[in-house]
Amino acid sequence: MTATTQPFAINAATGEQIWTRKDTTTVRAMARSGSTSRGVTYWEKGADKRILFTNGAWLYAVEAATGKPVNSFGDQGRTSLKAGLGPTAKDKSVISNTPGTVYNDLIIMPMRLSEGADAALGHIQAFNIQTGKLAWVFHTIPQPGEFGYDTWPKDTYKNTDVGAANNWSGMAVDRQRGIVYVPTGSAAFDFYGGNRLGQNLFANCLLALDAKTGKRLWHFQLVHHDILDRDAPAPPNLVTVTHKGSDGRPRRVDAVAQVSKQGYVFLFDRVTGKPLFPIKETPMPTSDIEGEKAWPTQPIPSKPAPYARNILTAVDISPLAENRAELQATLQKSRYQGAFTPLSKGGTIIYPGLDGGAEYGGAAVDPDGIMYVNSNEMAWLISLNRKMSSDQLAQLSPGQRVYTTTCAQCHGAERKGNPASGFPSLVDINKRRDRAFVNNIITNGKGMMPAFASLSTKQKQSLLAFLFGDERKEPGMNHDPEPA
């Protein structure tokens, strides 16, 4: 896939291009998606060889040899990733930048969604590769009557202010047993769960599903009621290890190993879901944010040893850091009680950080059972601020109101962003970029920035006016009749 998510085929020996895709529906969808791609999926049955890839909210199938659309797949070669997500997904951002997982004639799809309150539901969907039709759906936020429904407030499944619990990092399939292992991310909004009190199954789980039907065989929740964006960050590894059974005799066990952002490897018997080493529910600090109830315990594996340091102390701050004393003082005055410290108004240290521990590159395992993990150790300092009340929002100009409700969470209330962490400052954006550029980013997203498909043209106009400093300041003078 190219940087603009355009698939192409090259001769692996010579590098010569064989085909590149220039279908107009794809190109339009591409312009819309503004996404990156981590690859394509290959499937074959006899002489029928296909490449599957995504663009925007679409899954496409093309002939592997020619790049021509497979017209019998879905609607002229494409099928909607929103097919099984219910009516609320219609105006929400749904893309997929991780390749799907093939089991026989099915492709099981990861999805990338908003991490805000506007997130679509993160159900797991399988599509038939021959027809493009939706084959099965597993509800990661269960519906009435389904297992796990009572771990959420009763209306959460309606997707009005909570969504996600999606798989974005990819999956692993045991073809012989017909089991697909699906790690899920947190529910959204990522950092406040006062409107989703409860354990929140099947967010932050390792799910073992019957690959044919999507039925749950077993699950393990890696983080209960996640309020720290501790998504399972990588596909699990299917491994075979020598392990002592309850009779003390070593035997070979087919296992599944899941790496995590918090630095632990969770290791289970692939069939039963039983942990190979005890995983202990460990008491964790409480939240001091109004309305929030952090889960009282979190599962901590007794083995293997964590691959990331789980405690940050003043001594760990690099002696080479020019501002070491300042960083030590920040650590000292922030809330920090280990890896599961809830966010606070005054600022909480998150360590390992939001990007791990492990990240989407995942782990590799050699046949002797040694696992290699590329692990980050990056501390974050995050504070949680109350959303403005509707009265306070009404005091703002229309553009500032859109900014505050949609952009400030990443670019900051003052528009200064956090460039060191990859969130650019938008102060003086008018000196660096033109409106068309900014409008395009808002509409299509870019890299880690999601698309804001649901903003109206009017809202975007006032937002641009605000960002480019030509919005009239007095709120009454520039009143936007639309609800923000």
Q: Report d(CA 103, CA 97) in Å as an integer.
A: 19
Binding residues with ligand HEC: total (CB under 6 A): 22
| Residue 423 interacts with ligand HEC (CB under 6 A): yes or no | yes
CB of 67 vs ligand HEC, minimal distance in Å: 28
Residues 272-311 that bind ligand HEC (CB under 6 A): none
Q: Find the binder of ligand HEC among 257, 410, 453, 484 (CB under 6 A).
A: 410
- C-beta neighbour count of 426 within 10 angstroms: 22
The residue from 6, 104, 409, 478 that contacts ligand HEC (CB under 6 A) is 409
Torsion angle defined by CA atoms of residues 74, 130, 52 and 110, in that order, rounded to the nearest 10 degrees: 80
| Residue number with the smallest Cβ distance to ligand HEC | 447
By CB under 6 A, tell whether 411 contacts ligand HEC. yes
CA distance 409 to 427: 15
Out of 62, 429, 453, 465, the only residue in the binding site for ligand HEC (CB under 6 A) is 429
Kindly state the tokens that stand for 108.
Answer: 């099981």
In angstroms, rounded to a whole number, what is the distance separating the alpha carbons of residues 269 and 240?
A: 10
Buried b (16+ CB within 10 A) or exposed e, 207-233: bbbbbeebebbbbbbbbbbbbbbbbbb
452 binds ligand HEC (CB under 6 A): yes
User: Binding of ligand HEC at residue 212 (CB under 6 A)?
Assistant: no
Six-digit token pair at 55?
């663009």
Does position 380 bind ligand HEC by CB under 6 A?
Answer: no
Number of residues in the chain? 484
Contact 306, 263 (CB under 8 A): yes
Instruction: Decide if residue 382 touches ligand HEC (CB under 6 A).
Output: no
Identify the burial level of 170 via C-beta atoms within 10 angstroms of its C-beta, where 0-12 means exposed, 13-18 middle and 19 or more buried: buried
Q: Which residues contact 6 (CB under 8 A, 6 or more apart)?
A: 20, 21, 26, 27, 30
- Burial tier of 436 (Cβ tally within 10 Å: 0-12, 13-18, 19+): exposed
Q: Quick count: other Cβ atoms within 10 Å of Cβ 438?
A: 19
Nearest distance, CB of residue 417 and ligand HEC, angstroms: 8
Q: What's the CA gap between 345 and 330, in Å, rounded?
A: 14
For position 447 contacting ligand HEC by CB under 6 A, the verdict is yes
Give whichever of 28 and 432 is closer to ligand HEC, judged by the CB atom: 432
Nearest distance in Å: CB 466, ligand HEC: 9
Q: Which span sits near ligand HEC by CB under 6 A: 23-31, 247-255, 348-356, 409-417?
A: 409-417
Closer residue to ligand HEC (CB): 271 or 427: 427
If one asks whether residue 32 binds ligand HEC (CB under 6 A), the answer comes out as no
Site for ligand HEC in 389-408 (CB under 6 A): 406-407
How near is the Cβ of 145 to ligand HEC at its closest, in Å? 34
Nearest to ligand HEC of 310, 440 (CB atom) = 440
Interaction of residue 422 with ligand HEC, rule CB under 6 A: yes
Residue 441 interacts with ligand HEC (CB under 6 A): yes or no: yes
CB of 405 to ligand HEC, least distance (A): 9
Of residues 192 and 307, the one with the C-beta less far from ligand HEC: 192
Single out the residue of 22, 71, 24, 29 nearest to residue 50, CA to CA: 71
Site residues (vs ligand HEC, CB under 6 A):
406-407, 409-411, 422-424, 426, 429, 432-433, 438, 441-442, 446-450, 452, 463
